[in-house]
């Protein structure tokens, strides 16, 4: 029996490597186990194949029963989710225009002198791309949705796992195994059904970055790798788009806005090259305080709202550092480098 189960596990792993659809992999495994059960029921006792596969059909029938119960549970859960989604309000309105009753949720924006009705209309007409639906992307996406940003794109190739839930508040336990962009889309729609969400389940790569970013007014970078950060920065500089950048490390976070076409440096002016391996460990390697991404991601959303509406002064040419361990914030100026390969000269 152990040998058969090991063979099934190897078959599933091989299918994963070859990119075979999950349903097809499980179908093949079901066929293998079905053949074993059939052999146990048909072949005479003492037959070599029966002995090699357990000698009796009982354990296999129990296994099939448990698998059937799990499948029924998952099917029922999926049906309940679909019913819940079907009951969500279907909102239709012209692009950039408010639906009936929509303005009621933005009253506390509208009474702000710096925003008002014109600012809220700018938010409604805005198109924002968030790179990463993880620690920083989670609060940023939720607050942008609640603030009334009309179109939000989110790009991420990862899926939710249990280790994300300590800090990535846009996802739920029931979302484990689901693509982060789809989990985030559901959460944003639950907060505000009046917005348009565009999920892209893939990495931001050279072949799509320019065309994708061109569709949006500004970009929030909540990734945790320098390759994506440099790519997003280069495209934003080339297109003159503002880039709101956030980063985390254990107890500390930083936020800045890069838009050298208006003022200040670009991201690569400040970080000319990626650090050597081990010098800038990821959150998975070094750890991170759970609430910290909420603080920094919310700051990123604030900068995005100010950029869209023209309220206040954004962190363009400045970086804000928040030290959660000691309850301190620091802000300092950033200068452009003439020899920067992206925005210099």
pLDDT in tens, the chain (345 residues): 677 777 777 766 776 667 666 777 777 777 877 777 777 677 777 777 767 767 777 776 777 777 778 778 877 777 776 666 555 555 555 566 888 888 899 999 999 999 999 999 999 999 999 999 999 999 999 999 999 999 999 999 999 999 999 999 999 999 999 999 999 999 999 999 999 999 999 999 999 999 999 999 999 999 988 999 999 999 999 999 999 999 998 999 999 999 999 999 999 999 998 877 766 666 666 788 999 999 999 999 999 999 999 999 999 999 999 999 999 999 999 999 999 999 986
What does residue 5 show for φ and ψ, rounded to 5 degrees? -65, -40
Residue 84: predicted pLDDT: 62
The vertex-110 CA angle with 106 and 113, nearest 5°, equals 150
- Contact by Cβ (8 Å): 312, 306: yes
- What pLDDT is attached to residue 259? 95
**CA 337 to each of CA 5, 278, 318, 341: distance values in angstroms, whole numbers, following the listed order:** 60, 26, 14, 9
Query: What pLDDT score was predicted for residue 311?
Result: 94
Domain ranges of the chain: 2-87, 102-333
Whether the predicted model's global pTM rises above the 0.75 cut:
no
Distances (CA, A) of 246 to 134, 206, 233, 324: 12, 21, 12, 15
Residue 160: how many other CB atoms lie within 10 Å: 24
Topology (CATH level 3) of domain 102-333: Rossmann fold (3.40.50)
DSSP letter at 276? Answer: P
Q: Using CA atoms, how far apart are residues 181 and 197, in angstroms rounded to an integer? A: 10
Q: What length is written for the chain?
A: 345
The confidence score (pLDDT) of residue 173 equals 94
């Amino acid at each position: 029996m152990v040998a058969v189960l090991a063979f099934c596990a190897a078959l599933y792993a091989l299918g994963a490597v070859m990119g075979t659809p999950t349903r097809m992999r499980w179908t093949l495994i079901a066929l293998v186990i079905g053949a074993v059960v059939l052999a146990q029921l048909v072949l005479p006792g003492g037959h070599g194949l029966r002995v090699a596969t357990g000698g009796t059909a009982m354990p296999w029938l129990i296994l099939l029963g448990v698998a059937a119960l799990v499948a029924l549970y998952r099917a029922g859960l999926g049906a309940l989710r679909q019913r819940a989604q079907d009951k969500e309000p279907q909102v239709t309105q012209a692009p950039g225009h408010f639906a009936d009753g929509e303005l009621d949720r933005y009253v506390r924006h509208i009474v702000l002198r710096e925003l008002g009705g014109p600012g809220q209309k700018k938010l409604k007409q805005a198109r924002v791309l968030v790179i990463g639906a993880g620690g920083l992307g989670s609060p940023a996406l939720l607050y942008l949705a609640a603030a009334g940003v009309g179109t939000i794109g989110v790009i991420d190739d990862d899926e939710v796992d249990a280790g994300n839930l300590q800090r990535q508040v846009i996802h739920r336990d029931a979302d484990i195994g689901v693509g982060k962009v789809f989990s985030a889309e559901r959460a944003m729609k639950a907060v505000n059904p009046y917005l348009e969400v565009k999920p892209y389940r893939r990495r931001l790569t050279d072949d799509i970055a320019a065309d994708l970013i061109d569709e949006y007014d500004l970009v929030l970078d909540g990734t945790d790798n320098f390759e994506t950060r440099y790519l997003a920065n280069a495209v934003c500089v080339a297109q003159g788009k503002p880039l709101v950048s956030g980063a985390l490390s254990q107890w500390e976070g930083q936020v800045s806005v890069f838009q050298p076409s208006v003022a200040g440096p670009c991201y690569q002016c400040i970080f000319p090259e990626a650090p050597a391996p081990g010098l800038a460990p990821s959150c998975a390697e070094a750890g991170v305080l759970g609430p910290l991404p909420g603080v920094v991601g919310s700051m990123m959303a604030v900068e995005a709202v100010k950029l869209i509406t023209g309220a206040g002064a954004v962190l363009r040419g400045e970086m804000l550092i928040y030290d959660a361990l000691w309850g301190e914030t620091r802000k300092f100026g950033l200068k452009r480098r003439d020899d920067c390969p992206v925005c210099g000269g």
